[in-house]
Amino acid sequence: MTNTYAVVLAAGQGTRMKSSLYKVLHPVCGKPMVEHVIDHIRGLGIDRIVTIVGHGAERVEETLGEKSEYVLQEQQLGTAHAVQQAEKLIGDLDGTTIVVCGDTPLIRSETMEALIAHHNETGAKATILTANADDPTGYGRIIRGDDGQVLRNVEQKDATLEEQEIVEINTGTYCFDNRVLFETLKKVRNDNVQGEYYLPDVAGILQAEGALVSAYMTDDFSETLGINDRVILAEAESVMRRRIADKHMRNGVTIISPDHTYISAAAEIGRDTILQPGTMIEGHTVIGENCLIGPNSQIVDSVIGEGTTVHSSVVLASTVGSTTTVGPFAHIRPDSNLGDKVKIGNFVEVKKSTLGEGSKVSHLSYIGDTKIGSRVNVGCGTITVNYDGTNKHITTIEDDAFIGCNSNLIAPVTIEKGAYVAAGSTITKNVPEHSLAIGRARQENKEGYVKKLNLN
Ligand code: UD1
Ligand code: CA
């Protein structure tokens, strides 16, 4: 079998993005665009992946880690010059090399696989992945001979008016015979409008030398979108979003309105779960089967069990058990762990807290830095007073305890097993097992007092 290598071009500054974030690190559905490209390449079982980095090199390397090898292109003199930088790593190897731009995140593994297969079958020295564009403006155009043979590529800025009429474009993805690629790169010149060394010129040079140059046309133009500015970024986001939604729907997830549901590339969702409109599933979130999420829920980097409901709520970096209900209008902040059959009701904020099985905080509460056991009922309006202005303190509420409405639990404090706190209490001392704590002013009735005040 032929060895296969990949070169990913990611050194450009991306001036047209007008951003302090390097272009290839802009996320599409929550994942940096260059990481989409690399992950799709990794799906192909390629022998070596080399990423050309320049602007923001460190950030790009940090983001991709060990998924790739890296070469620095110190000055961005063009795409051919970029590929040339990989010579010291792979220049003297036999095999086929696929070159992909780091700004084309929609290209699928299947398409790259078909391109490589086509290249190897035809025995061409260079194969360009092309597509017919509705609006080819900005792309390189493919010039073919009368017999349909690919002759060369011409960049938009160098094209004659007649050439600009051509709709078959260079997608920026290519396959080359590896050795031939690096030999031919040395012959590329920069005598063009932009004064750059153009990678697609390799194809023209080879053709002129009598080598076979081929094109493989994909029928899905959207796959080849090169993100140069934020308008195309939004377009790519929408294509990718729909692709991710389709994958989940095919796996048995119901998405009421795919256009109004945002699922990150990394999320996992179990079958028969229903996602209602306005829902965002972000980061590395895992959702079990038979859940009901939304409308308007945001779940980030969290794990949700089975049969759980998250209604109009925000869940961040937390774990939620099975058959639990959250919301409407709850906020589960990072490092929280809600067990099974838990109920978190409306206008409840939970921060860095644990709730055991069957515990309930149903209305209008703040639970912070708190350990709650099983079957605990926390009444409406209860506040754990965790902050003394300098430090945060822990509240512990053990199994089967019952906290009356509108209580303040001043941490550090422990409510032991089965203890009760009377409604309206401010608790500053531990409450022993099965005791009742009342921490409020005793009520006094002054009979007839109102009439006495009433002067007329
Ligand atoms: C390029 C192609 C064009 C094709 C289009 C498809 C050339 C000359 N033109 O144009 O034919 O239709 O892609 O999207 O190749 N880069 C480097 N180092 C450099 C220059 C660029 O690493 O010195 C990287 C960029 O980061 C980017 C990629 O190469 O990921 C493509 O560069 P870009 O400037 O976006 O090329 P286009 O003008 O889009
Ligand atoms: Ca581009």
Q: How far apart are CA 171 and CA 120, in angstroms?
A: 19
Q: How far apart are CA 382 and CA 386, in angstroms?
A: 12
Tell me which residue has tokens 């299947």: 110
Q: Looking at domain 353-456, which CATH architecture does it have?
A: 3 Solenoid (2.160)
Q: Is the CB of 153 under 6 A from ligand 1?
A: yes
Q: Is the CB of 105 under 6 A from ligand 1?
A: no
Q: Which of 285, 287, 340, 345 has the alpha carbon at shortest distance from 316?
A: 285
Q: Does domain 251-350 have CATH number 3.30.230.70?
A: no
Domain with CATH 2.160.10.10 in the chain: 251-350, 353-456
Q: How far apart are CA 140 and CA 153, in angstroms?
A: 6
Helix (H) or strand (E) holding 344: strand 343-346
Q: How far apart are CA 221 and CA 224, in angstroms?
A: 6
The answer on pLDDT for 45 being more than 90 is: no
φ/ψ of 240, rounded to 5, equals: -65, -40
CB 438: neighbour CB atoms within 10 A?
13
> Is residue 425 a contact partner of residue 408, using CB atoms and an 8 Å limit?
yes
Q: Which residue among the candidates 284, 363, 393, 434 is catalytic per the annotation?
A: 363
Q: How far apart are CA 151 and CA 276, in angstroms?
A: 51
Domain with CATH 3.90.550.10 in the chain: 4-224
**Ligand 2 centroid – CA 280 distance (Å):** 29
Q: What is the mean pLDDT of residues 115-123?
A: 96
Q: Which of 342, 388, 351 has the alpha carbon at shortest distance from 369?
A: 351
Q: How far apart are CA 275 and CA 24, in angstroms?
A: 30
Residue 34 has, within 13 A of its CA and on its CB side, a CA count of 32
pLDDT in tens, 420-441: 999 999 999 999 999 999 999 9
Q: How far apart are the first and last CA of the chain?
A: 106
Q: Which of 311, 321, 315, 289 has the alpha carbon at shortest distance from 302?
A: 315
> Is residue 126 a contact partner of residue 213, using CB atoms and an 8 Å limit?
yes
Q: What is the pLDDT of residue 2?
A: 86
What CATH homologous superfamily does 4-224 map to? Spore Coat Polysaccharide Biosynthesis Protein SpsA; Chain A (3.90.550.10)
Name the pLDDT band for 456 (thresholds 50, 70, 90). Answer: low
Quick one: how far is CA 243 from the chain centroid? 14
pLDDT in tens, 369-416: 999 999 999 999 999 999 999 999 999 999 999 999 999 999 999 999
According to DSSP, the residues that pair with 287 across neighbouring strands are 269, 304
Higher confidence at residue 367 or residue 14? 367
Asked about 248 being catalytic, the answer comes back as no
Q: What is the pLDDT of residue 192?
A: 95
Query: What pTM was estimated for this model as a whole?
Result: 0.89
Which ligand 1 atom lies nearest to the CA of residue 13? 26
